[in-house]
Amino acid sequence: MTAFSFIHAADLHLGSPLAGLAARDADLARRLASASRQAFEDLVSQAIERSVAFVVVAGDVYDGDWADTTIGLFFARQVARLDRAGIPTILVRGNHDAESVITRSITLPASVHVFPTARAGTLRLDALRVAVHGRSFQGRAVEENLSLTYPAAVPGWFNLGVLHTSCTGHAAHETYAPCSVADLAARGYEYWALGHIHEYAELSRDPWIVFPGNLQGRSVRECGEKGAVVVDVADGRVTGVSRLPLDRARFERVTVDLGAVADARGAVEAVEAALAPLAPIAARRLLLVRVHLAGTTRAHDALAADRESLTAEIQAAAHRLHEDIWLERLKIETRRPRAAAEPTGAAIDPAALLADLDRDPEFRARAKAALAEIGGRMPGTAAAEADLDAEFDALCAEAEALVLGRLGGRHC
């Protein structure tokens, strides 16, 4: 049996918008809009350069039905590059590109194999003695354990299963085609190419059961390195699995403790120092960072009093490190030091007046109603990213700090 390599990818979500900074900078918006496509272009280029035997995509090529044929033509153009290089593309449909979801179609090269929905199928690559087994989603919500419908392993061949699944469950994703590691191992395959979970995960190494994660992170909820995996095979066994970073825009979170900081200038310097280790990442891609300011600091109210200026200064600091480090969002989560007790007859303490306001049931009800109205007027992606209701307490704390900061910190 010959040695070969293949690429396992999943969750391309072509056509999905990236959330973040699109409204702030026109060039940045353009680059974010093209990130997912460029990541897939790079995958195809890597497959050709490495002369892999085939490429597997374990579902969710598209983010949903096409508004027009543009995204379908893009995918067809890229797999045609693989076809001309003699590299087959093997797909299953997932919940986002299920058979009932995608209503348009573009004719793809004959080397592209899409597994059926009615039953699990097997594709035999005779020259390699590889049997690839897979089954696509017919509809968006699949509650059946599809893995139990997959055929037994072909004796003497390298058996590869391709499945879009929430195997073992994952809090951040819908439960589709649920199964267990034991269910998959029982089929007797050497490798399971999974999709649906947007984080890299090795569920097992005997046999290999792998989620490659999505190709391109789409918001700060999908932080860190994204891409595919390269799988090396020799003598019918997996000899290596290595990650292949492909993302063109990466999201990160950084928490900066300002406990030792006394003013806004010190806060900016602390953030710049925390961002410095990320500069090498920005050398190859856009880097979008959500900065969380934390800790108990005398600068708490001053930071919130002029949030716009602070945000601009932190962005400037990020650009001093690298032009492609962008502040995705600034979260002020600091606390003011506990004030000493005021002597009898002292002036009214505004901090004391505001301290318990956000616990008042009537205030909370009215404020949440106002936030719901604001959220209802926001575009869908922006509303989901803002998640105003979930951040209600943080917003209250920020508003309190803003008021006290504007009063000049007289309560401190």
Does 37 share its domain with 91? yes
Strand pairing category for 54-58 and 4-9: parallel
pTM given for the model:
0.84
Q: What is the reported pLDDT for 412? A: 39
Q: Are 252 and 217 contained in the same domain?
A: no
Same domain, yes or no: 230 and 259 = no
Give the pLDDT confidence of 7-20 residue by residue, as tens digits.
999 999 998 877 65
Same domain? 193 vs 141:
yes
Could you give the number of structural domains in the chain?
A: 3
For residues 333 and 374, membership in a common domain is answered with: no
Per-residue pLDDT of 89-142, as tens digits, reads: 999 999 999 999 999 999 999 999 999 999 999 999 999 999 999 999 999 889
The C-alpha angle 245, 247, 250, rounded to 5 degrees, equals: 110
State the residue range of the domain holding 386.
350-411
CB-based burial label for 220 (10 Å; 0-12, 13-18, 19+)? middle
322-338 pLDDT per residue, tens = 999 999 999 999 999 98
The predicted pLDDT at position 260 comes to 94
Q: Extract long-range pairs of 263-266: CB within 8 Å, 24+ residues apart.
A: 263/299, 263/302, 264/299, 264/302, 264/303, 264/306, 264/309, 264/310, 264/313, 266/299
pLDDT-derived band at 400, boundaries 50, 70, 90: low
Do 85 and 212 reside in the same domain of the chain?
yes
- Dihedral of CA atoms 90, 94, 96, 97 in degrees, nearest 10, equals 40
Same domain, residue pair 313 and 364? no
Match 């391309």 to its residue by tokens.
Answer: 12
What CATH number is attached to the domain comprising 44?
A: 3.60.21.10
Domain boundary among 288, 305, 338: 338
Residue ending a domain, choose from 310, 338, 366 = 338
Name the pairing type of β-strands 286-294 and 208-211: unpaired
Boundary of a domain, candidates 202, 225, 245:
245
Average pLDDT, the chain: 88
Residues 310 and 362 placed together within one structural domain of the fold:
no
In DSSP terms, 9 is beta-bridged to 57
pLDDT at residue 371, rounded to an integer = 72
Predicted confidence band of residue 367 (pLDDT cuts 50, 70, 90): confident
CB 388 within 8 A of CB 373: no
Residues 267, 331 within the same domain: yes
Residue 391 reports pLDDT greater than 50: yes
Asked if 263 and 307 sit in the same domain, the reply is: yes
